[in-house]
Chain A
Amino acid sequence: MQNKFTRNVFFIPYALWIALFVIAPLLLILYYSFFDIEGNFSLINYRKFFTPVYLKMTLSSFWYAFLITLISLLVAYPTAYLLTKTKHKQLWLLLIIVPSWINLLLKAYAFIGIFGTYGVANSFLEVIGIGTQQILFTDFSFIFVSVYIFIPFMILPIFNALDELNPALVYAAKDLGASGWVTFHRVIFPLTIDGVKSGCQVVFIPALSLFMLTRLIAGNRVITLGTAIEQHFLVTQDWGMGSTIAVFLVIIMFLIMLVTGKRKRGV
């Protein structure tokens, strides 16, 4: 019984955190979502959410978040794999994280400069003969910069999973005559699926509610749920509608967790 007691004592800070900083704000959001802009109790926000404007927005948020996660994964997995093979792998890993400590707004301004009509990227395209393109304010630049922002979050868990991988298993597979692809598909990937999963979670979920970049890099050509919430909280002062969208975001997140949590782990 002693064990259980100490365990509960240790659990207190985390439980307190959940109660104060998760459940309380959640209830607050839920509460606000039932009030219209004049402060009267109503369900109008929920009705509004099911109008084409917001449904379209939800779909496009999903689509972009999906693309961002997919591309991040495609870039991050090989990178993480190669990093585990380098000599000073921990140092290289740290160096992947360091750029994310520079303020996001500053980096976004740098990208505006780089992708601009007279920027470095276009000078390069000019040199190799493609000619100046409109890069800024396109889907390409938006996804590129978003992936740039999220990539360390994807690499880290995958790196840790790969790093733990028992090399004996890989050798065994090779000895048994498995090709490179089969080894990867049947042995390496299933063993690192947990890392991949947590990487996807920390990218996909925040990508749904990106807002700063939609304006700075996409020039509001991309409107996500995050942009709308931002608007409602800071411009319209319609906290009710903002909260309603947030409620749906949280529900979506719960669903994603449910789906990814059910799958049985390999081995």
Chain B
Amino acid sequence: MKKLVQLFMAIVIVSVVLLAIISGLNSSEGYSGDNTLTIYNWGDYIDEELLSQFEEQTGIKVIYATFDSNEAMLTKIKQGGTTYDVAVPSEYTIDQMRKEHLLIPLDHSKLPNMKYIDERFMDLPFDPENKYSIPYFWGTVGIVYNPSMLDGKRITSWADLWDEDLRNQILLIDGAREVMGMGLNSLHYSLNDTNDAHLREAKEKLDTLTPNIKAIVGDESKLLLANEEAAVGLAWSGDASEIMYENEKLDYVVPKEGSNLWFDNMVIPKTAKNVEAAHQFINFMLDPKVAAQNTEYVSYSTPNKEALKYLPEEIVKDERFYPSPALTEKLEVYENLGKQNLARYNELFLEFKMHRK
């Protein structure tokens, strides 16, 4: 009994001390002040140096909170109870948020640096006239592969994945839209197809790929590909450039049948408390030099045309990550298909995963 009481007292004392330290740290860092800006972003998706730079310039203290999926972020913002001034969702989520009135319209007069964004990334269907969002990074979905593990064979299309030489060599992403999209594209259907017969057909086509699939994984696929655990992987271009930096033998290709063009965008959610600072921050991130520095850190493709001038030639000229307008024309952006269709995609994807057994 005495020992229990002792232990419990010790815990209470330690906790109080820790709490005191935390509040001390919080106030010395300025987190408890009034002039703060809460940014809700993917983990490690910004050069933190830029945050300090922004703080110095404006005197606003930045709180950086993170999420790990669009849907989880959406749930948090929908429920409220917490403040986020700037968030960075992907395009199909923005369409949904816009329709559910979860976003505050941007005041374009406060964002003079908007003019640096490449025309082809403005005014897209998920947000006409960029009323609510400004592109942050963009990219494609494609195939990362290791020619040295495939006897120098080159992959150029989705159809190549069905090659018998790739037995147990492919890593897929655990995403219904990506994998179903691959099936649809390989049949030359649209990524946004909602015709049930087409979807079934795509799923059955995917079932035949099963012998070639090693695993269906998440973010850890980067690690696995870089380490030559598998020769081929479905990947987002941003991840691909990172993996290729780790392992120079790898190559990336956007399949010729077509693929997905994606965007992560800055928005101001309706939960924002400091809308003024949010605009300041978005404008700051659009500054060409800032955008260039951020791009070098994150290694995704920047939509900022002016920023390209500050980036090394070999990055900008790399057609795999900065494809020409001719190619991006052919790619499709995910549309928000509505809940019913999305559920259908997921159902089929689940069946496909079960088929493996």
Contacts and interface: CB of A to CB of B under 8 A. Distances in A.
B346 A235 contact: yes
Interface stretch (B123-131, B301-309, B317-325, B336-344): B336-344
Contacts of A215: 174, 216-218
Contact size range, A: 20 to 34
Contact of A112 (B74, B220, B339): B220
Contacts of A232: 346
A117 interface: yes
A215 to B, nearest CB: 6
B339 A118 contact: no
A243 to B, nearest CB: 14
Interface stretch (B30-38, B133-141, B224-232, B251-259): B224-232
Contacts of A235: 69, 71, 175-176, 346
A237 B174 contact: no
A41 to B, nearest CB: 16
Interface string A106-125: 00010010001110000000
A217 to B, nearest CB: 10
A216 B220 contact: yes
Contact of B346 (A109, A216, A236): A236
A77 interface: no
A105 to B, nearest CB: 9
Given A118-B227, A231-B350, A221 B215 contact: yes
A92 to B, nearest CB: 19
A161 interface: no
A220 interface: yes
Most buried by B among A109, A137, A234: A137
A215 B220 CA distance: 10
A117 B74 CA distance: 38
A53 B350 CA distance: 8
A101 to B, nearest CB: 15
Contacts of B174: 215, 220
Interface string B206-246: 00000000111110100110011100000000000000000
B72 interface: yes
B351 A136 contact: no
B72 A234 contact: yes
B227 A116 contact: yes
B228 A117 contact: yes
A188 B176 CA distance: 52
Contacts of B176: 235-236
B98 interface: no
B153 interface: no
Contact of B350 (A116, A117, A136, A223): A223
Interface of A: 37-38, 53, 56-57, 60, 109, 112, 116-118, 134, 136-137, 215-216, 218-221, 223, 228, 231-232, 234-238, 241
22 contacts: A37-B343, A53-B350, A112-B224, A118-B227, A118-B228, A118-B229, A136-B215, A137-B215, A216-B217, A219-B214, A219-B215, A220-B215, A220-B356, A221-B357, A223-B353, A223-B354, A231-B350, A234-B71, A234-B75, A236-B176, A237-B342, A238-B346
Given A53-B351, A116-B227, A219-B216, 16 more contacts: A38-B339, A57-B354, A112-B223, A118-B229, A136-B215, A137-B214, A219-B214, A219-B217, A220-B215, A220-B356, A228-B350, A234-B69, A235-B71, A236-B339, A236-B346, A238-B339
